[in-house]
Amino acid sequence: MQNLFDLIGRLHPLVVHLPIGFILLGLLLIHYVPKNTGAEKVLPYVFFWASIASVASFLTGIIQYLQEGLSLDDVRLHLVFGLLTTLLCMLFYIKLKGATWLEKIAPRWWGWALFVSLVATGHFGGNLTHGEDHLTEPLPTALKTALGISSPPDAPLLIDPEKLEASMWFDDVVQPLLQQKCVSCHNAEKQKGKLALHRLESFQKGGKNGALIDVENPEKSLLWTRIHLPITDKKHMPPKSKTQLSAEEIALLQAWMGIGAPVAKTLAEAAVSPEILQAFYPPTQNHLMRFAELPSPSATVIQNLQNQGLLIAPLFKNSNGLKISAINWNAFTDKDINALASLAKNIVLLDLGNTQITDAVFETLQTFENLVDLKLDHTLVKGNSMEVLEQHAYLESINLVSSAFAVENLSKLYSFQTLEKVFLWDTPAAKEIEKSNLPQDKIQLFDFGEELLPKLPSDGIVY
């Protein structure tokens, strides 16, 4: 019997379209069909079936409300307007059948009342199935702001690698994910499937389908199963109309369930694969966490270099990776680069812009094996020997803006495997690039300060 009621309740979204069709047909006959065309004879028949369909829709809605565990506060307006629509249909049918006590109300007024009630019923029903922002969610953020519509923050989950010993698995990782992707349908007011996820006690209680976590068999957990179902499956969570979990978020939840779904342990106490956590580190730290295990740099060397004018700081707190800038040491020359040799393994970001260096620095830079970002802008560097950096495993960006970089040295950068961008604004290379034979697949590597589009066969045609 329980299964039968579940089935009847779930027919509500299908049945509800029947009264909508009959009512709209009746309204068209009332407002747009001229009198004495036979419409008067059809209207009673239309609203008889509109009444029957409305009653069926209302009853299946009540059953669905009782079976799905929704709160009364959540469905109240949809229920009230659904009942009002049903009563208006029945009363209008009675009027059409000749009830004298309803004669004073003109059919057009009945039509407008039904239209307003029907729209309100549909709107509040849409709120239940798609969320209260189902109409406004697609709007641009600027338009929402102009209309005074607030939208919930959708900031990504971030894990601070410096606070792993203080961050709790459930409170600081799992709950924020549930808050973003699940709580809109499973909260204190709205409990689809009799499940609330807005706090730990509700999560542990589970819903009408039982507990969410099977500690003995994590892969058989209800949470695990639902997030892995095809998005077209009705039981897939979150529903396909909602923002989905990313692959990284799914992996994080899997890892948590795989270690027993702890709620009172920190990330450090119940560790998982570092790669899974690193996907949620702040962007800069996530990108540079591969340098977390570098050897400790000499504090004495750092202090001496700082006394000479170099700015030196760790990539992030407690990191042995360094970012160094000569912004306050404009007289920095090729000889001064040797002072950084003892820190070669620790230097990740190096800014030598606006200094007196030349191509001679590349001999020393060759030993800076962990370089990611190198700034040589506003210098005398021509690039004559920079091919020695080709074997660097992490070098991604080189800034040569307003340097002396020559166009003939562009080809030396073609074979750099990790290089993503080279900035060459206001350089001889940028001014003479039309004379070079730059491969089409390398155009995106270089930024000359203006768009350099691939040449098309038609570009050489003279009209």
Place of tokens 């009853």: 59
pLDDT digits (tens, 9 = 90+) for 25-75: 988 888 877 766 677 788 899 999 999 999 999 999 888 888 765 667 778
**What confidence score (pLDDT) does residue 287 get?**
58
CA dist 95 and 239 (Å) reads: 43
Provide the residue type at 73 as one letter.
D
CA dist 402 and 405 (Å) reads: 8
Backbone angles phi, psi at 272, to 5 degrees: -130, -175
Place of tokens 């069926």: 56
CA 359 to chain centre: 44
Query: Which residues fall within 8 angstroms of residue 271, CB to CB, at 6 or more apart?
Result: none
CA dist 435 and 263 (Å) reads: 64
CA dist 30 and 46 (Å) reads: 11
**What confidence score (pLDDT) does residue 453 get?**
44
**What confidence score (pLDDT) does residue 153 get?**
47
Strands 373-375 and 397-399: parallel
Domain boundaries, the chain: 2-146, 161-281, 299-460
CATH entry, 299-460, from 3.40.50.1110, 3.60.21.10, 1.20.140.10, 3.80.10.10: 3.80.10.10
Give the long-range contacts of residues 151-158, CB within 8 A, separation 24 or more.
Answer: 154/180, 154/243, 156/280, 157/249, 157/252, 157/280, 158/280, 158/281, 158/282
**What confidence score (pLDDT) does residue 286 get?**
56
H helix runs in 131-273, sequence order: 141-146, 169, 175-181, 200-205, 222-228, 247-258
- My answer on whether omega of the bond before 153 falls inside 30° of 0, hence cis, is no
pLDDT digits (tens, 9 = 90+) for 207-239: 888 999 998 999 999 999 999 999 888 888 988
pLDDT digits (tens, 9 = 90+) for 321-363: 899 999 989 899 999 999 999 999 999 999 999 999 999 999 9
Place of tokens 């459930």: 170
CA dist 179 and 181 (Å) reads: 6
- pTM, two decimals, is 0.43
CA 207 to each of CA 70, 195, 212, 223: distance values in angstroms, whole numbers, following the listed order: 12, 4, 8, 11
Strand, coil or helix: 94 = helix
Query: What one-character DSSP code corresponds to residue 410?
Result: G
261: left (phi over 0), alpha (psi -120 to 50) or beta: left
CA dist 446 and 439 (Å) reads: 11
Query: Which residues fall within 8 angstroms of residue 238, CB to CB, at 6 or more apart?
Result: 181, 182, 185, 244, 245
Burial category of 203 from C-beta neighbours within 10 Å (exposed 0-12, middle 13-18, buried 19 and up): buried
**What confidence score (pLDDT) does residue 139 get?**
62
pLDDT in tens, the chain (463 residues): 667 877 887 888 889 899 999 999 988 888 877 766 677 788 899 999 999 999 999 999 888 888 765 667 778 888 899 999 999 999 999 988 888 888 788 888 888 899 999 998 988 887 776 666 666 666 665 565 555 554 444 567 888 877 888 889 999 999 999 988 888 788 876 778 888 888 899 899 998 889 999 989 999 999 999 999 998 888 889 887 677 888 889 999 999 999 999 988 888 887 677 778 877 877 655 556 666 678 889 999 999 999 999 999 988 777 788 999 999 898 999 999 999 999 999 999 999 999 999 999 999 999 999 999 999 999 999 999 999 999 888 899 999 999 999 999 998 998 898 898 999 989 998 888 765 567 877 888 888 876 444 444 444 444 3
